[in-house]
Amino acid sequence: MLRKIKESTEFLQKKTNRNPQVGIILGTGLGGLVNEIEIEYSISYEEIPNFPFSTVEGHSGRLIFGNLGGKQVVAMQGRFHFYEGYTMDKVTFPVRVMKLLGIKNLIVSNASGGVNPNYQVGDLMILSDHINLIPNPLIGKNITELGPRFPDMSDAYCSTLIAKAEAIAKANNIPIKKGVYIALTGPTLETPAEYKHMRIIGGDTVGMSTAPEVIVARHMDIPCFAMSVITDLGVPGKIKKVTHAEIQQVSEVAEPKLTLIIKKLITNI
């Protein structure tokens, strides 16, 4: 796999001659942050050697190189999921490439379902921790050039970045939650009993991404920051049928607030 990671990296280095400082992964309905980037290169995943391509509606499938908040960034406009049928090394492959491109921090966004009864649709939540119930992406032979066999995950989400984001939200009068994200395989949304179970085991939100990318980033010693948009509720009495289109719509409404926080956070890194 290391050979393929290096092939992809070399292709992108030759095509862009960029050394991004920050990597960004944009979730469902949250691709509009790209509009804030001073874009220098926009490359379809299909052009990049060894890259998978996104099959999910609302995920554009492009790697964006440019400037945001005074920093060189590389942004995934569309991510990969285990439920699409990709192996975990494919799901997290772009994070490996970002590391070799030179990123020093990773920022991740996602749409998720709230199981905390204090949450409302449209809330923003900073991830303080996660519970990963998707197969761990580090299962298999360890690549020692990338990281240790048994990486520590006690600080999966960088406390310094969290504190900065909280200060930005407060200064801009943006209400913010902070909690634990549970990563599930999908693609089904959860049953009422599953929502209840997720709350019992310590979750505040549930989704189908983020944790694998963060695990791989931490394996490579990249500090991480992540935010969720609460697009639906898995709280007894508030559960209703929801479609992917409705999830996208809620994400798009909340997007300007998330975009502001992330842009200012990158400026302050």
Tally Cβ neighbours within 10 Å of residue 39. Answer: 15
Radius of gyration of the chain (CA): 17
pLDDT value, residue 102:
97
pLDDT value, residue 90:
95
pLDDT value, residue 60:
66
pLDDT value, residue 185:
97
Distance CA 63, CA 76 (A): 5
- 18 to each of 6, 9, 12, 74, 162, how far by Cα in Å? 15, 11, 8, 9, 27
Q: Looking at the whole model, is its pTM more than 0.85? A: yes
Distance CA 18, CA 47 (A): 17
Over residues 170-223, the pLDDT tens digits come to 999 999 999 999 999 999 989 999 999 999 999 999 999 999 999 999 999 999
pLDDT value, residue 27:
81
Residues in the chain: 269
Sheet strands (E) in 87-141: 105-114, 124-132
pLDDT value, residue 235:
86
Question: Checking phi first, is residue 74 left (phi over 0); if not, alpha (psi -120 to 50) or beta?
Answer: beta
CA angle 219, 220, 226 (to 5 degrees): 75
pLDDT value, residue 255:
84
pLDDT value, residue 243:
76
Residue from 112, 117, 135 nearest 196 by CA: 117
Tally Cβ neighbours within 10 Å of residue 3. Answer: 8
Q: What percentage of the chain exceeds 70 in pLDDT?
A: 96
Low-confidence stretches of the chain (pLDDT < 70) are 28-30, 54-60, 244, 250
Yes or no: say if 93 and 10 are a contact pair by the CB < 8 Å rule.
no
Query: b/e string for 207-231 if b means 16 or more Cβ within 10 A?
Result: bbbbbbbbbbbbbbebbbbbbbbbb
Yes or no: say if 245 and 145 are a contact pair by the CB < 8 Å rule.
no
| Domains observed in the chain | 2-268 (3.40.50.1580)
